Structure 1
Amino acid sequence: MNYTLHQLQIFLKIAQNQSITKASEELHLTQPAVSIQLKNFQDQFAIPLTEVVGRKLFITEFGKEIARAAEKILNEVHAINYKTLSYEGQLAGRLKISVVSTGKYVMPYFITDYIGKHKGLDLVMDVTNKTKVVESLGNNEVDFALVSVLPERLKIDRVELMENKLFLVGNARPLKAENLSKKRLFEELPLIYREPGSATRNAMESFITRNRLPVRKKIELTSNEAVKQAVIAGIGYSIMPLIGIKNELLNGDLRIIPVKGLPISTTWNIIWLRAKKLSPAAKAFLDYLDSEKEHIIRDRFGWVSAY
């Protein structure tokens, strides 16, 4: 056996994504380079690590065992690097954060300078829907989560970041039904929904249910970006977080439709398990938020107050 750490890293990514294409994207390598490293790694084992069925790549049971071993080895390597940096007096470690999909417009601004100040820190940020975010937090797979709706079944601590406003939005074309009552307006508009498990969808459905509004559901999409593009294209309308449509509002691609009872207002929160023993990197991040939060909100999100 003469495999390298690089090969272990590549195979682990392939196993996690079950795709050479996705692994190459995450590793910022070409597909041929990843395929060559996979072949070189496979050549060192008599038992297949992968198999292709119907043009789809699958990881064999043996391959899954090797992937688990590779993850343990790579984690130990990271630990050695972090310990070395710590002995040199640097803050070091890995910070894992799970972020609801709309939170990708928020979280980078609260983490960039912190990571930049500490070269020994690695950031792993997973962007997904609320259900998976809460699941990863509950399974203690991450240090922090960014949510706009607090989970009910977990004992957590939190830091409030900023307000999250959701408006009814449409594309640039004039809306003939705009002067109708709220009930008639929602009867007329084809609505675009996020997927089940999304906090944005939950907020939208709660507003509709609370106001007993009849709706004409048009389509369901699995990301905020997909909803945004569908609204711009004129497929329908949606209730969307303001934070994700700044440029489109400024460019005139989208516009806010005034509706009594909107915007819906929630709060972005950084949360963590109350019983979790936070790493030095995680504790330092909370200290950073305490001292810099208001400055970041004023400089980066001051525009929100205009809506």
Structure 2
Amino acid sequence: MNYTLHQLLVFLKITQTQSITKAAEELHLTQPAVSIQLKNLQDQFDIPLTEVIGRKIFITDFGKEIAAAAEKILNEVHAINYKTLAYKGQLIGRLKITVVSTGKYVMPYFLSDFLNQHPGVELVLDVTNKSMVIESLKRNEVDFSLVSVLPENMQVESIELMKNKLFLVGNREHQYSGELHDNSILEEVPLIYREAGSGTRQIMENFIKQNNMRVIKKMELTSNEAVKQAVIAGLGYSIMPLIGIKNELSNGDLQIIPVKGFPIQSIWNLIWLKNKSFSPVATAYLKYLQQEKSKTIQEWFGWYGQF
């Protein structure tokens, strides 16, 4: 047997995501690179680790046993690294955070200095939609979660990071005047929605419901980037978080349409389970946020107040 730690890591990620494409995205590798690592690992076993039916990959019972063993091996490797750093007096361990998809434009800026100060801390950051974020928190699989809509029927504590502003946006094909439009404009334009379970969609639907609107739902897409590209291509309009469209506004691909009642505002909150027992790393990070939050906002999000 000549399998490598990298092969085990790739295979474990495939079993967790049930997808070569998603595993590649989370490991920041190309799909061919992930497929090659899977093949190299499979070549060392006579029993299949996976099987493909249609276009979907399934993990065999034997593959699940190998994945469980791989996880134990990788955890032991992490433990060795942590012990080495501990002898040097460094803060060590994993910081696990789940983030709603649009939160990927926010969370890295509240992490970078902390991670630079503590090289012994390993970050595990999962970006997904709100329903999956809340589920991981509910199962106590993570230290913190970043959301723009607080979960209902769940006891959590939180720290506010910054405002989340959402605007009606379109591409540049039709030039709107600078005058403030009545919110009935939402009933006149085809709207592009995020998928069910998205925090952005929930905020959007709440606004439409509160104002008793009958809107034209053009399509539903599963990521903020997909919505953005569809709007740029002229397929419709959408209510989007400002945080994710800065570059497109600057280069003229998108325009904010001034509408009464906008921006819709929520708050980016970092949340955790009430009475959770924090690791030393999680405790240190929470303290860091409380002390450095304002500085981070001023340094990275000063432009935000212009809108």
TM-score (norm 1): 0.92
1:215-234 aligned at under 5 Å gives the runs 215-234=215-234
Take 1:136 and 1:160, find their aligned partners in 2: how far apart are those partners? Answer: 20
Instruction: Look up the SS of the partner of 1:173 in the other structure.
Output: coil
Q: Alpha carbons of 1:88 and 1:264: their partners in 2 closer, same or farther (altered >3 Å)?
A: same
Contact 2:169 2:254 in 1 (8 A): yes
Deviation of 1:75 after TM superposition, in Å, equals 1.4
1:239-250 aligned at under 5 Å gives the runs 239-250=239-250
Match of 1:123 in 2: 123
1:1-307 aligned at under 5 Å gives the runs 3-20=3-20, 22-24=22-24, 26-27=26-27, 34-35=34-35, 37-54=37-54, 56-175=56-175, 181-183=182-184, 185-307=185-307
Deviation of 1:261 after TM superposition, in Å, equals 1.3
Q: Unaligned regions of 5+ residues in structure 1, if any?
A: none
**What are the Cα deviations for residues 182-221 of structure 1, in whole angstroms up to 9, with x where unaligned?**
32x2221001100011111011111111011111111111
TM-score (norm 2): 0.92
Contact 2:170 2:232 in 1 (8 A): yes
Deviation of 1:54 after TM superposition, in Å, equals 3.2
Q: Which amino acid aligns with 2:53?
A: V
Deviation of 1:290 after TM superposition, in Å, equals 1.3
Q: Which amino acid aligns with 2:234?
A: G
Instruction: Look up the SS of the partner of 1:296 in the other structure.
Output: helix
Deviation of 1:156 after TM superposition, in Å, equals 1.3
Take 1:85 and 1:74, find their aligned partners in 2: how far apart are those partners? Answer: 17
**What are the Cα deviations for residues 228-272 of structure 1, in whole angstroms up to 9, with x where unaligned?**
111111111111111111111122211111111111111111111
Deviation of 1:126 after TM superposition, in Å, equals 0.6
Deviation of 1:35 after TM superposition, in Å, equals 4.7
Q: Alpha carbons of 1:22 and 1:196: their partners in 2 closer, same or farther (altered >3 Å)?
A: closer
Q: Which amino acid aligns with 1:134?
A: I
Q: Which amino acid aligns with 1:182?
A: N
**What are the Cα deviations for residues 32-78 of structure 1, in whole angstroms up to 9, with x where unaligned?**
66555444533444432122333543211111122122112211221
Take 2:19 and 2:32, find their aligned partners in 1: how far apart are those partners? Answer: 13
Take 2:36 and 2:204, find their aligned partners in 1: how far apart are those partners? Answer: 47
Take 1:233 and 1:32, find their aligned partners in 2: how far apart are those partners? Answer: 29
Q: Identity of counterpart residues, as a percentage?
A: 70
Take 1:253 and 1:18, find their aligned partners in 2: how far apart are those partners? Answer: 35
Take 1:31 and 1:175, find their aligned partners in 2: how far apart are those partners? Answer: 41
Aligned residue pairs total 306
Instruction: Look up the SS of the partner of 1:96 in the other structure.
Output: strand
Report the aligned-residue RMSD. 2.2
Take 1:128 and 1:199, find their aligned partners in 2: how far apart are those partners? Answer: 11
Take 1:175 and 1:31, find their aligned partners in 2: how far apart are those partners? Answer: 41
Take 1:256 and 1:32, find their aligned partners in 2: how far apart are those partners? Answer: 39
Take 1:291 and 1:66, find their aligned partners in 2: how far apart are those partners? Answer: 44
Q: Alpha carbons of 1:78 and 1:248: their partners in 2 closer, same or farther (altered >3 Å)?
A: same
**What are the Cα deviations for residues 130-159 of structure 1, in whole angstroms up to 9, with x where unaligned?**
100000011111111001111122211111
Deviates more, 1:38-47 or 1:236-245: 38-47
